[in-house]
Amino acid sequence: MSLKAAAAAVRENAHAPYSNFKVGAAVRSASGQIYVGCNVENVAYPEGTCAEAGAIAAMVAAGEKVLAEVYVIADCPTPIPPCGGCRQKLKEFGKGDVKVTMATTDGDEQETTIADLLPGAFDADHMERS
Ligand code: THU
């Protein structure tokens, strides 16, 4: 299955009764395996989680920690950009040149990279002083 098909399929499982905005994400890890996630909202709104977070959690739970490619899809006017928190989560597990495809359910796609999504990112180097 393609990343696109995997993301579109898992989007259908999103739990989004409060926003009515379903998001699907699929990531391919360094091993070539695909992991998927959808947004899971909660009546206590801040407790909801994003699709990208779910896909990353599935990858890590399976014992993998390296992102090779990312695909995110939603029913929106322009390809869905990952939220700020998800950009930092992607950066944790993917090098800057990892391709991120943002898509609409109408078939519009826009390609970017983790580095372009999060310029000036905070990382472990910033905690070193020597
Ligand atoms: N959402 C995601 O799943 N990923 C993003 O990158 C943007 C936002 C979800 C969170 C919430 O359930 C809904 O979209 C509306 O913000």
Q: For residue 82, how far is its CA from the centre of ligand 1 (angstroms)? A: 8
- Contact criterion met (CB below 8 Å) for 74 and 80: yes
In a structure prediction context, what are the per-residue pLDDT tens digits for the chain, which is 130 residues long?
899 999 999 999 999 999 999 999 999 999 999 999 999 999 999 999 999 999 999 999 999 999 999 999 999 999 999 999 999 999 999 999 999 999 999 999 999 999 999 999 998 889 998 6
Note the pTM of the prediction, 2 decimals: 0.96
Query: Ligand 1: distance of its center to the CA of 74 in Å?
Result: 9
Q: Is the CB of 7 under 6 A from ligand 1?
A: no
**Burial class of residue 28 (count of CB atoms within 10 Å of its CB; 0-12, 13-18, 19+):** buried
pLDDT score recorded for residue 129: 86
All structural domains of the chain, each given as residue ranges with its CATH number in brackets, are 3-127 (3.40.140.10)
